[in-house]
Structure 1
């Protein structure tokens, strides 16, 4: 864990104990609070309250059968929420919590159906962001040590996730109380690992990689290849997701060049996100808003959603993104870009 995650974030507004207690009181009253995690900002509500969870779904425009993740404070008891707690879950908690890993386990009967979209499983995680930890601890204290906060990303369903407090305000205005904890360190949503069926299966890639998981468990998780028909539904796993409002295409650079030429001939301005070594003359073309793609997967992940939001405001007709290497180190960024592009594929056919 980085020093920033443990002690605070550079440039973060100072939040007082009173700010945290005010937010915890709102959660306790069934209201929604947006708060930072190390991954993205979450739109939080009392996970034990079907009414509060319903408010999350309504605010986001989220389908009621799409489950949300329950966030726990450090020292919280995940077994309170679980009907079964596999040995693998305990090993992963000891290795990666607090951190960007969500575990799917069988849901305890006391937990509302609403949290899991009616399924018999529940997703649990403990974030490492200090503001999230303080809020979760304050709320859990109000619930006798068993408080959990359901919190999908704080944005309209299917759109680009927020990595700053301003992104949340851009989505919801003054309708949602926001705790400003600065920019998120990881920048994409948590890894989701299913342990509810007797074997580890990766449902959503993230900062904690399949190799990281394999090192702890001694076996590699199943990867999401579209063939896992019995997998539970999980946050952020619909084919089309994380999409900007501007049409986006994700293709090898050779396939982007005809689109760039066509835009030039039509007098349109397009955005191009590609490695500088590949962009060539297109990087300085008059009709191209060029952004050099980060070369490191973790940097790309941290900057991705902020970049898509900037390009949404750049007055371009289309966002063209160079496809990334299909390797495990790029699996999480490829996943988010692929889902963002999928939102527009039907329109192109």
Structure 2
């Protein structure tokens, strides 16, 4: 593979995917190529999960560290038996309750999974996406598909086909554009090899939903910012979700947060910096008066945090398009999908947090 290759662009109906386009992408994957495709969470960059050479192309295209494991995407419950050494307790219950959907289960790997997928670990993450295009593609290839997010490593994850093209055009074989992802943050990763099922990465399935099914669920310290040296799941170790500008989180009582953000906007602008603010529909009116940010992005309503999750990565990318040097983001309650939102914001800010 070389930079400058021609990347095929396949616009597709996300509800009724055109079979000839799916088959074209499936042929690319079957011969060892890499294809970006939509899922309900974010866009994935896929390769045949059973072909170590094809999987290495994912890492090269993204500039991804080799010790960062990938998630394997499947389209049927029967596929699980071939890819795991054994089913941990509660795995079947979770699959029946949450698949297809944004939940990745960490289980003991079988000998079919190459080291390139698992970063040499003895576990593998499996997920059954619910997006019709992802399901159709996996079925057409008749192969499990290893896929991280389809972006340059460290950048905000892509939620549209255009996001993928901006990062990876000329580096991958094809992009299937099935419109915007609906969840907007990656899948929840749940480790079933721990004594207590443990969330390694929060996402589209919430802690509360898992707790309702399992009873006891743990949260890995990395979720709230603690560093790990040997990640068992994507997104645990390296800089992630970062735009070009520096992100700062401003936390505290909301009224004080707004006042502090406005003061910071004025201070940074006096130093000649372009400042963006990530706000909500509840607070956006307070940023309309001077000092006004150079760019204001309204993520959604605090009463509907799922809209904030869906818009977050696109908002970070928009800040780059508006050449923001500094990005000031409000914070959110770490409950429900808010746990995933705050996990992504902390990583994008490299834990730079200002208390109002």
TM-score scaled to structure 1, two decimals?
A: 0.88
Structure-1 residue corresponding to 2:138:
136
Whole-Å separation in 2 of the counterparts to 1:262 and 1:228: 31
**CA 1:326 to 1:229, structure 2 compared with 1: closer, same or farther past 3 Å?**
same
Distance change (3 Å), C-alpha of 1:49 and 1:339: same
Deviation at 1:158, TM superposition (A): 1.1
Q: Tell me, yes or no, if structure 1 residue 208 matches structure 2 residue 214.
A: no
Paired position in structure 2 for 1:315: 323
Between 1:247-256 and 1:330-339, the stretch displaced more is 247-256
Give a deviation string over 1:21-47, Cα, whole Å, max 9, x none.
Answer: 111111110000110000011000010
Cα distance per residue 1:142-193 (max 9 Å; x no partner) = xxxxx20000000011111111111111111143201111111111100000
Show structure 1 runs of 4+ deviating over 6 A: 227-231
Q: 1:194 deviation in Å?
A: 0.2
Match of 2:261?
256
How many residues in Structure 1 have an aligned counterpart in Structure 2?
330
Task: Summarize deviations over 1:108-153 as a string: whole Å, max 9, x none.
Answer: 123211110000000000000000000000111xxxxxx2000000
Match of 2:279 among 274, 283, 288: 274
User: Which has more helix, going by share of residues?
Assistant: 1
Question: Partner of 2:36 in structure 1?
Answer: 34
1:276 Cα deviation (Å)? 4.9
Asked if residue 197 in structure 1 is aligned to residue 194 in structure 2, the reply is yes
Residue pair 2:262, 2:292 contacting (<8 A) in 1 also? no
1:171 corresponds to 2:176: no
- Unaligned runs of 5+ residues in structure 2 are 1-10, 252-256
Paired residues for 1:1-349 under 5 Å: 12=14, 15-140=17-142, 147-176=143-172, 177-217=174-214, 219-226=215-222, 232-238=231-237, 240-252=239-251, 253=257, 255-278=260-283, 281-285=286-290, 287-288=292-293, 289-294=295-300, 295=302, 296-342=304-350, 345=352
The Cα shift of 1:77 comes to 1.9
Larger displacement relative to structure 2 (167-176 or 43-52): 167-176
Deviation at 1:11, TM superposition (A): 7.2
1:228-270, Cα deviation, whole Å (9 max, x unpaired): 9798521112253111112111122254344222124334331
Superposed CA RMSD: 2.4
